Amino acid sequence: AQTVTQSQPEMSVQEAETVTLSCTYDTSESDYYLFWYKQPPSRQMILVIRQEAYKQQNATENRFSVNFQKAAKSFSLKISDSQLGDAAMYFCAYRKQGAQKLVFGQGTRLTINP
Amino acid sequence: KAGVTQTPRYLIKTRGQQVTLSCSPISGHRSVSWYQQTPGQGLQFLFEYFSETQRNKGNFPGRFSGRQFSNSRSEMNVSTLELGDSALYLCASSPSTREFYSGANVLTFGAGSRLTVL
């Protein structure tokens, strides 16, 4: 079974600084997709960024970028120029090819200090 | 375009009762998935429906059931509630495009239904 591990239960960063959230996963599949979701206090899960495993190029969405290391099964999220609105729970998620089911990590609570 | 709508947002039940939660997907989306979120177990997959058919089911007891209607709206039911069923129940919908199982097909989540069992 696939598993996703987020080893940092909590992280904090100063506003405008850069922070990296870690995620590792375990799978025997070769084709899969990885996601970072953000869950603010409003509880709405919002997609931050996604990565197809077959793509070597790391995904980037504005201030958010990933470092995808397929051989190491690592998928970290970098947030640049952190803003107060980035404060939330961040979940790393895995989905194998041909399936809709997401497997989530335990989450990292990110605090932004003004 | 309206997002995924879940009702009710909050509810309190007592042990032994049953509960029904509703999810209206984004217009045009035909796939609906349900997840349970608890502090101890995190986010766990419950079921996935597409065109009124259950395509996948998570590792939950038979007390948890669901269905999808012809308009893609979905309901989940939990019978004989236990204290451990207290959780945030999240619904997500996705479009039924050619890229249904590709990375281009992204789940959009609702705000959830917070169930408290006393």
Mutation test of the interface with chain A: which of B4, B29, B37, B43, choosing the one with the most A Cβ atoms within 10 A? B43
In this predicted structure, what is the pLDDT of residue B11?
96
Q: Mean pLDDT over residues A10-28, rounded?
A: 97
Residue B118 above 60 pLDDT? yes
Predicted confidence band of residue A41 (pLDDT cuts 50, 70, 90) = confident
Q: What is the model's pLDDT at position B102? A: 56
Q: Are the beta carbons of B72 and B22 closer than 8 angstroms?
A: no
Query: Are the Cβ atoms of A44 and B108 closer than 8 angstroms?
Result: no
The confidence band for A2, taking pLDDT boundaries of 50, 70 and 90, is: confident
Nearest chain A alpha carbon to B3: A44
- Taking residues A17-45, report their average pLDDT: 94
Residue B43, beta-bridge partner list: B37
More reliable by pLDDT, B28 or A88: A88
What are the chain A neighbours of B93 within 8 Å (beta carbons)?
Answer: none
Contacts of residue B42 in chain A, CB cutoff 8 Å? 104-107
Tell me the chain A residues in contact with residue B31 when contact means C-beta distances shorter than 8 Å: 100
Evaluate if residue B98 carries a pLDDT over 70. no
- pLDDT at B100 > cutoff 70: no
Which of A44, A100, A101 comes nearest B111 by C-beta?
A44
**Scanning the structure block, which residue is given the tokens 């169930």?**
B115
With an 8 Å Cβ cutoff, are B107 and A102 in contact?
yes
Burial of B113 (0-12, 13-18, 19+ CB in 10 A): buried
The predicted pLDDT at position B97 comes to: 55
pLDDT grade for A42, boundaries at 50, 70 and 90: confident
Asked if residues B82 and B104 have their Cβ atoms less than 8 Å apart, the reply is no
Q: Could you tell me which of B63, B54, B42, B38 has the C-alpha nearest to residue B115?
A: B38
**What per-residue confidence (pLDDT) applies to A43?**
85
Contacts 24+ apart (CB under 8 A), B106-109: B106/A35, B106/A47, B106/A50, B107/A47, B107/A100, B107/A102, B107/B33, B108/A47, B108/B3, B108/B4, B108/B26, B108/B29, B109/A37, B109/A44, B109/A45, B109/A46, B109/B4
Q: What mean pLDDT do residues A95-114 have? A: 92
Residue A81 distance to chain B (closest CA, Å): 26
pLDDT in tens, B71-86: 999 999 999 999 999 9
What amino acid is encoded at A63 in this protein? R
Distance CA B102, CA B89 (A): 25
pLDDT at residue B115 is higher than 60: yes
Contacts of A68 in chain B (CB under 8 A): none
What pLDDT, on the 0 to 100 scale, is given for residue B104? 58
